[in-house]
C-alpha cells in the first residue's frame, strides 16, 4: 500500500451509474422511520423455548431463529443486499436489554419531538401481548434500575450526570475484525471453533462455561450462514421472475455472491463488500446499539480491489458504484432509543464510522485509490450515514488527499470528520495498545478511538454536567433547581480569599461527581455481563480463543469505561469571569455576583454586562485559556486515577446533543449565561462570544490537552459557504486543517451552511428534506432534529471572512 496515491477524479457527467444511486437513495429519503418489532418477537418466542439454558446460548439461538425466520427483502436496483430488520429505516428493539423504552412511549412515539417513529397498531399489539408480558422484570435495564446505588440516584435524577445511555440499549462502540472475516470467512472461523470445542474438556475448571460459549459461537455461525443462504435464494427467486435481462443478471450475481460470502474467504472486491455488510447487519440484529463501525475500509478492502484491477475484472466506476450502494445501505437502519436518550443524541444516528487515510502498519502513508473513492461516495450519495472519517496524517498523507478532503467539506454535508492521526495514535497508546497496533486505529461512533477486532471499552457511560459543577462550587453544594444538597460542602465562596481557593472548590466538586460515576460503573459492569454478544465476538480472535465474550472482556485490549464532560465553554468562561471580575479587577464581589445569579440576573443588569464582557474562551486570551489547560488536565487525570475490572477509566469531550438537556437544570452562571438555558456544545466557544475569528478559536481549543482525553474530543466549526467558494478558499481550508494538526487538536468537522438556509429549512422542512447538518460529532437531517437543537445550531457563531474586508483596501474605498 505504499505506492503513490492516484487521485481518483472523474467528471460527474461520465458517471453512468448515478441513475441507480439516485433511485436507491430516494427510497431511503422517502421512507419515514418506523418501529420494527419482527426481530424482538422472534427473540421473545425463542427465549420462551430456551428457558433454563445458559444465557449466551439462548442469545445465540434467538439470533439463529431471527436468521431463519426474519423477512428477507431485496429491493429494486440493489447490488449490495441485507437488512437487519424487516423494513428500510426501521428501528429495532432489543427487548432483552430494554423493552420498557417502548412501553412508556407507545402512544407518543409517533409525535415525540426527538426522533419520532411510526408505529402501527399491529406492532402495538405485538408489543403489548407478546413482548412486554415476557420481558417484564427480566431486562438488563430493569436490573440496573434495581441496583442503582444511593449515591448515584440523586445526581442521576437531576441530570447532573446522565448515565442511562448505555443501559437503555446495547453499548455498541465496537469495530468487528473485518480483516479476519474476509480472510477466513465464517466457515473458517467455524472450523477453528469446532477444533477448540473438540480440544476442550468438560471436566476442566470452567469446562462447561467454555463449551457452552463455543457452542453459542457455532450457533451464531449457523445463523449467519443461514441468513446469507436465504438472501441467495431470494435473489434466485427474483431473477426467475425478472423480465429485464440486465436486472436478471444482476440478481443472479447477487445470488452467487451470497452463496460464497460471508461463508468463505472473499475472492473479489464485490464479495468483500457484501461480506462486510452482511456480517454488519448480523451484529446489529444481535443487539440494537450505535457505533458498530465499518472502520478502515480503504485498508482491508484494498487487496481485493488491487487483485480485481490487475485481473481486469473491475473498473474504477464499478468499484465506486459498489461503494455508493454500500453507503446507501448504511443509511437504512435507524437507531431506536427512548425519547429522553434521543434528546441527548438526536437524529436517528447509528454512528457507523467508516474511515480512510492515515498510516499503515509500517507507519507509512496508507492513502490509496479506495481512500479517494470513499470520499467520492459521500460526495455522490450525500446521506447521513455512514459517518465518514478521515485519519489525516499531516506529515505522511499526500496533499492531493487533503485537497479531496477540502473539496468534500465544501459540499456542505458536514463530512468528513477530520481526525489528527498523530493524536489518535497517542490516544491508543495511552489505552495500552502497542505502537505497531496503534498505527491501525480507527475512529468510532462520532470521534472515539477504536481498534478493529481487538479493543473493548464503552466510551460514554455517563455525562458530567460541568455547569452543575460550577454551580455547586458557588452554592456550597446546593442544587439551585430544587434546593437539595447534591454536591460536596466546599464552603461559602465569600470566604475564598484567592482564585485558587475557588478552583480548589471546583476541583472537589468535580472529583466527587467522577467518584460517583465510577461507583455507578461498578454496578453497571455487573449488569452488562448479562448481555453477551456472541455474534460480534466471533471476529474478535482473543474472544474466540479464550471463549470469553466481548462483553465480558474477552477482547485483546480492554479499557475501563468512559466519562464524557459537557459544558466546556460555560465552565471555562465562568471560572475565568470569577477570576477576572472578583480577584483581578475587583469590579465585583462574591456577594453581588451570588445575588445576581440567585435571581437569574433580574435587577442585576450591570452585573450581567460585566459577566458577558469578561474574557471568553475561543479568543486566544491566555488568562482565560490557562484555566482551561489546568482544569481539564486535572479532570482527565482524576478520571484516569480509577481502576476497574476492565482497566483504567477513560475520558472524553464529545457531548453529542447532551448539552441541550443538561442545560435545563443549571442556574445562571458567571459566564453571563441565563438559568435553565442550553449549554455550549463540545469544545466550541459559546455562540457569539468568539470574536477573533477561526484561528483564535483553534488556538483556544488547542489549550485543552486533547491527547489526555483518549475517548476523543469534538470540535465543530460552522463555515459560511463563501469561506470555501473558490480555489483560494479551498487552499485556506487545507492550511487551517494542517495547522490544526500542528496545534495538537484531535478532531474538527466543518458545517458549510448559512444561518439563513437553516431558518428557511425550519419554515419549510419539506423542501429541505436532504439538508445535512453536523450536530455534534455526527451528521443528521436538519429537519428531523428537535426545534431546540435546530435553534441551537442556528445560534452557533457563523465563522466566516468578514465580507466587507474583501473589498476594503488600505485607507480607501
Active site residue 446: yes
Per CB under 8 A, the list member of 692, 755, 762, 795 interacting with other proteins is: 692
| Closest distance of CB 605 from other proteins, Å | 7
**Cis check: omega of the bond before 386, within 30 degrees of 0:** yes
Residue 743 found at the interface with other proteins (CB under 8 A): yes
Tell me the CA distances in angstroms from 427 to 194, 364, 387, 496, one per residue in order.
Answer: 37, 19, 20, 37
Q: 717, 714, 691: which is closest to 802 by C-alpha?
A: 691
Q: Which is nearer to other proteins, 398 or 693 (CB)?
A: 693
**Shortest Cβ 806–other proteins spacing (Å):** 5
732 binds other proteins (CB under 8 A): yes
CB of 73 or CB of 695, closer to other proteins: 695
Distance CA 136, CA 317 (A): 52
- For other proteins, give the closer residue by CB, 36 or 620: 620
**DSSP category for residue 301:** S
Q: What's the gap between Cα 559 and its chain centre?
A: 18
Contact residue for other proteins among 309, 664, 738, 762 (CB under 8 A): 738
Stretch that binds other proteins, among 119-127, 423-431, 543-551, 695-703 (CB under 8 A): 695-703
For other proteins, the closer of residues 14 and 812 by Cβ is 812
Given the residues 446, 543, 611, 741, select the one marked as catalytic: 446
When binding is defined by CB under 8 A, the residue of 49, 484, 591, 606 that contacts other proteins is 606
Q: Is 812 in the site for other proteins (CB under 8 A)?
A: yes
- Asked if 398 touches other proteins (CB under 8 A), the answer is no
Residue 104 has which C-alpha cell? 412508556
Q: Could you write out the DSSP letters of every residue in 235-294?
A: HHHHHHH--SHHHHHHHHHHHHHHHHTTTS---SHHHHHHHHHHHHHHHHHHS--S-B--
DSSP annotation of 564 reads E
Confirm or reject binding of residue 609 to other proteins (CB under 8 A).
yes
Min. distance of Cβ 606 from other proteins in angstroms? Answer: 5
Sign of CA dihedral 229, 231, 232, 233: positive
CA 539 to chain CA mean position, Å: 21
Nearest distance from residue 311's CB to other proteins, in Å? 42
Q: Of 102-110, 175-183, 297-305, 800-808, which segment contacts other proteins by CB under 8 A?
A: 800-808
Q: How far is the CB of 595 from other proteins (least distance, A)?
A: 17
Helices (H) and strands (E) in the chain, counts: 34, 21
Decide whether 440 or 576 has the Cβ nearer to other proteins: 576
Q: Which stretch binds other proteins (CB under 8 A): 254-262, 347-355, 540-548, 692-700?
A: 692-700
- Closest distance of CB 23 from other proteins, Å: 41
Query: What one-character DSSP code corresponds to residue 52?
Result: T
Q: Is 629 in the site for other proteins (CB under 8 A)?
A: no
**Sole binder of other proteins in the list 54, 693, 705, 721 (CB under 8 A):** 693
766 makes contact with other proteins (CB under 8 A): no
Closest CB to other proteins among 187 and 732? 732
3-state helix, strand, coil in the chain (%, to 5): 50, 10, 40
**Closest to other proteins by CB, 310 or 811:** 811
Q: Between 310 and 807, whose beta carbon lies closer to other proteins?
A: 807
Coil, strand, or helix at residue 775?
coil
Pick from 17, 583, 634, 801: which binds other proteins (CB under 8 A)?
A: 801
Cβ 654 to other proteins shortest distance, Å: 25
Choose which of 30, 129, 207, 735 interacts with other proteins (CB under 8 A): 735
Residue 605 binding other proteins, by CB under 8 A: yes
Distance from C-alpha of 813 to C-alpha of 810, rounded to nearest angstrom: 8
Stretch that binds other proteins, among 112-120, 261-269, 433-441, 730-738 (CB under 8 A): 730-738
How far are the Cα atoms of 26, 335, 372 from residue 299, in angstroms, in the given order?
30, 27, 12
Catalytic pick among 448, 638, 784, 792: 448
Among 2, 613, 637, 787, binds other proteins (CB under 8 A): 613
* Angle between helical axes of 399-410 and 727-742 (0-180°, round to 10): 120
Least gap, CB of 596 to other proteins (angstroms): 13
Candidates 223, 694, 712, 786; binder of other proteins (CB under 8 A) is 694
One DSSP character per residue, 752-767 reads E--HHHHHHHHH-GGG
Residue 356 is a catalytic residue: no
Q: Of the two residues 66 and 797, which places its CB atom closer to other proteins in the complex?
A: 797
Q: Of 13, 202, 399, 810, which one interacts with other proteins (CB under 8 A)?
A: 810
Q: Of 603, 326, 569, 342, whose CA–CA distance to 470 is shortest?
A: 569
Q: Give min distance, CB of 706 to other proteins, in A.
A: 15
Binding mask 699-728 for other proteins (x = CB under 8 A): x----------------------------x
Residue 608 CB, shortest distance to other proteins, in Å, is 9
The set of cell numbers assigned to 780 is 443528521
Cell of 707: 491527547
Smallest gap from residue 418 Cβ to other proteins (A)? 15
**Smallest distance from other proteins to CB 582, Å:** 16
Return the C-alpha cell found at 329: 445501505
Neighbours of 426 (CB within 10 A): 21
Residue 77 gets the label, from left (phi > 0), alpha (psi -120 to 50) or beta, of left
DSSP state string for 198-233 = HH--TTSTTHHHHHHHHHHHHHHHHHHHHHHHHHHH
Task: Please identify, using beta-carbon distances, which residue of 279 and 750 lies nearer to other proteins.
Answer: 750
Binding pattern for the stretch 46-85 against other proteins, x by CB under 8 A and - elsewhere: ----------------------------------------
Q: Which is nearer to other proteins, 384 or 617 (CB)?
A: 617
Which residues have CB under 8 Å from 351's CB, separation 6+?
A: 172, 290, 291, 293, 335, 387, 444, 445, 446, 778
Q: Is residue 620 involved in binding other proteins (CB under 8 A)?
A: yes
CA distance 119 to 121: 7
| Nearest residue to 546 via CA among 283, 212, 210 | 210
Is position 615 an interface residue for other proteins (rule: CB under 8 A)?
A: no
Is the torsion defined by CA of 223, 527, 34, 788 positive or negative?
negative
Q: Following DSSP, what letter does each residue of 720-750 receive, concatenated? A: -GGGGSSHHHHHHHHHHHHHHHHTT--EEEE
Residue 250 found at the interface with other proteins (CB under 8 A) = no
Q: Which grid coordinates belong to 375? A: 470520499
Residue 586 interacting with other proteins (CB under 8 A): no
Do strands 643-644 and 650-653 pair parallel, antiparallel, or not at all (unpaired)? unpaired
Q: Residues with Cβ < 8 Å from 546, sequence gap 6 or more?
A: 554
* Segment interacting with other proteins, rule: CB under 8 A, options 108-116, 201-209, 412-420, 688-696: 688-696
Q: Identify the CA nearest to 334 among candidates 347, 318, 353.
A: 347
Q: How many residues form the binding site for other proteins (CB under 8 A)?
A: 34
Using rule CB under 8 A, residue 806 touches other proteins: yes
Cell of 569: 465553554
Show the DSSP H helices in 578-670 as ranges.
590-598, 605-613, 622-640, 659-663
Binding residues vs other proteins (CB under 8 A): 605-606, 609-610, 613, 620, 692-696, 699, 728-729, 731-732, 735-736, 738-739, 742-743, 801-802, 804-813
Point out the residues that are catalytic. 446, 448
Amino acid at each position: 500500500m505504499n505506492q503513490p496515491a492516484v487521485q481518483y477524479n472523474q467528471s460527474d457527467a461520465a458517471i453512468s451509474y448515478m441513475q441507480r444511486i439516485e433511485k436507491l437513495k430516494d427510497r431511503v429519503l422517502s421512507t419515514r422511520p418506523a418501529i420494527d418489532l419482527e426481530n424482538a418477537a422472534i427473540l421473545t418466542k425463542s427465549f420462551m423455548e430456551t428457558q433454563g439454558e445458559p444465557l449466551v446460548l439462548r442469545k445465540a439461538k434467538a439470533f439463529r431463529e431471527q436468521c431463519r425466520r426474519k423477512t428477507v427483502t431485496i429491493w429494486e436496483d440493489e447490488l449490495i443486499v441485507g437488512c437487519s430488520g424487516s423494513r428500510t429505516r426501521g428501528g429495532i428493539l432489543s427487548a432483552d436489554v430494554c423493552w420498557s423504552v417502548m412501553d412508556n412511549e407507545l402512544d407518543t412515539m409517533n409525535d415525540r419531538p426527538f426522533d419520532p417513529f411510526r408505529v402501527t397498531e399491529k406492532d402495538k399489539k405485538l408489543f403489548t401481548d407478546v413482548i412486554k408480558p415476557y420481558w417484564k422484570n427480566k431486562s438488563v435495564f430493569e436490573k440496573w434500575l434495581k441496583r442503582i446505588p444511593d449515591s448515584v440516584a440523586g445526581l442521576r435524577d437531576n441530570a447532573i450526570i446522565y448515565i442511562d445511555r448505555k443501559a437503555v440499549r446495547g453499548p455498541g462502540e465496537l469495530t468487528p475484525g473485518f480483516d479476519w472475516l474476509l480472510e477466513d470467512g465464517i466457515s473458517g472461523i467455524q472450523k477453528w471453533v469446532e477444533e477448540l470445542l473438540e480440544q476442550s474438556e468438560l471436566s476442566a475448571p470452567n469446562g462447561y462455561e467454555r463449551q457452552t460459549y463455543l457452542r453459542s459461537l457455532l450457533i451464531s455461525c449457523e445463523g449467519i450462514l443461514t441468513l446469507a443462504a436465504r438472501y441467495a435464494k431470494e435473489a434466485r427467486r427474483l431473477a426467475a421472475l425478472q423480465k429485464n435481462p440486465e436486472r436478471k443478471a444482476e440478481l443472479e450475481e447477487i445470488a452467487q455472491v451470497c452463496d460464497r460470502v460471508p461463508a468463505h474467504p472473499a475472492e473479489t472486491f464485490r464479495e468483500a463488500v457484501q461480506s462486510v455488510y452482511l456480517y454488519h447487519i448480523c451484529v446489529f440484529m444481535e443487539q440494537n446499539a450505535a457505533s458498530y463501525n465499518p472502520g478502515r475500509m480503504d485498508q482491508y478492502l484494498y487487496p481485493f480491489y488491487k487483485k480485481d484491477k490487475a485481473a481486469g475484472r473491475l473498473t474504477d466506476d464499478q468499484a465506486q458504484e459498489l461503494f455508493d450502494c454500500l453507503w446507501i445501505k448504511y443509511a437504512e437502519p435507524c437507531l431506536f432509543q427512548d425519547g429522553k436518550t434521543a434528546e441527548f443524541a438526536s437524529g436517528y444516528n447509528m454512528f457507523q464510522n467508516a474511515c480512510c487515510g492515515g498510516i499503515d502498519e509500517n507507519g507509512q502513508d496508507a492513502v490509496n485509490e479506495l481512500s479517494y473513492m470513499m470520499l467520492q461516495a459521500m460526495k455522490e450519495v450525500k446521506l447521513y450515514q455512514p459517518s465518514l472519517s478521515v485519519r489525516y496524517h499531516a506529515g505522511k498523507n499526500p496533499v492531493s488527499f487533503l485537497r479531496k478532503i477540502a473539496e468534500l467539506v465544501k459540499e456542505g454535508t458536514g463530512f468528513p470528520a477530520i481526525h489528527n492521526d498523530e493524536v489518535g495514535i497517542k490516544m491508543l497508546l495511552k489505552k495500552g495498545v502497542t505502537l505497531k497496533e496503534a498505527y491501525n486505529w480507527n475512529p468510532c461512533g462520532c470521534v472515539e478511538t477504536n481498534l478493529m477486532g481487538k479493543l473493548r471499552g464503552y466510551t460514554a457511560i455517563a455525562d458530567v454536567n460541568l455547569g452543575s459543577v460550577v454551580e455547586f462550587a458557588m452554592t456550597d453544594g446546593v442544587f439551585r433547581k430544587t434546593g437539595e444538597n447534591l454536591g460536596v460542602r466546599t464552603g461559602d465562596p465569600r470566604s475564598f480569599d484567592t482564585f485558587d481557593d475557588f478552583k480548589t472548590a471546583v476541583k472537589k466538586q468535580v472529583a466527587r461527581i467522577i467518584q460517583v460515576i465510577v461507583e455507578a460503573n461498578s454496578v453497571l459492569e455487573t449488569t452488562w455481563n448479562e448481555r453477551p454478544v456472541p455474534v460480534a465476538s466471533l471476529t474478535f480472535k482473543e474472544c474466540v480463543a479464550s471463549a470469553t465474550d466481548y462483553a465480558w472482556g474477552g477482547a485483546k485490549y480492554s479499557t475501563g469505561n468512559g466519562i464524557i464532560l459537557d459544558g466546556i465553554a460555560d465552565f471555562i468562561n465562568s471560572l475565568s469571569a470569577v477570576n477576572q471580575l472578583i480577584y483581578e479587577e475587583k469590579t465585583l464581589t462574591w456577594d453581588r455576583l451570588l445575588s445576581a445569579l440567585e435571581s437569574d440576573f433580574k435587577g442585576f443588569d450591570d452585573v450581567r454586562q460585566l459577566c458577558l464582557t469578561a474574557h471568553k474562551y475561543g479568543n486566544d486570551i491566555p488568562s482565560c485559556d490557562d484555566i482551561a489547560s489546568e482544569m481539564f488536565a486535572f479532570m482527565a487525570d482524576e478520571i484516569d486515577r480509577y481502576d476497574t475490572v476492565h482497566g483504567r477509566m477513560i475520558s472524553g469531550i464529545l457531548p453529542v446533543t447532551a448539552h441541550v438537556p443538561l442545560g435545563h437544570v443549571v442556574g445562571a452562571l458567571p459566564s453571563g449565561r441565563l438559568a435553565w438555558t442550553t449549554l455550549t456544545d463540545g469544545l466550541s466557544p459559546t455562540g457569539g462570544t468568539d470574536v477573533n475569528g477561526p484561528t483564535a478559536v483553534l488556538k483556544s481549543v488547542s489549550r485543552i490537552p486533547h491527547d489526555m482525553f483518549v475517548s476523543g474530543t469534538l470540535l465543530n466549526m460552522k463555515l459560511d459557504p463563501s469561506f470555501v467558494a473558490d480555489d483560494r478558499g479551498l487552499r485556506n481550508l487545507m492550511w487551517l486543517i494542517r495547522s490544526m494538526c500542528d496545534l495538537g487538536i484531535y478532531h474538527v468537522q466543518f458545517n458549510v451552511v448559512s444561518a439563513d438556509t437553516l431558518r428557511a429549512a425550519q419554515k419549510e422542512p419539506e423542501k429541505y428534506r436532504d439538508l445535512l447538518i453536523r450536530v455534534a460529532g455526527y451528521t443528521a437531517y436538519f429537519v428531523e432534529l428537535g426545534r431546540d437543537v435546530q435553534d441551537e445550531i442556528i445560534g452557533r457563531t457563523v465563522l466566516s471572512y468578514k465580507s466587507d474586508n474583501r473589498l476594503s483596501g488600505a485607507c480607501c474605498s
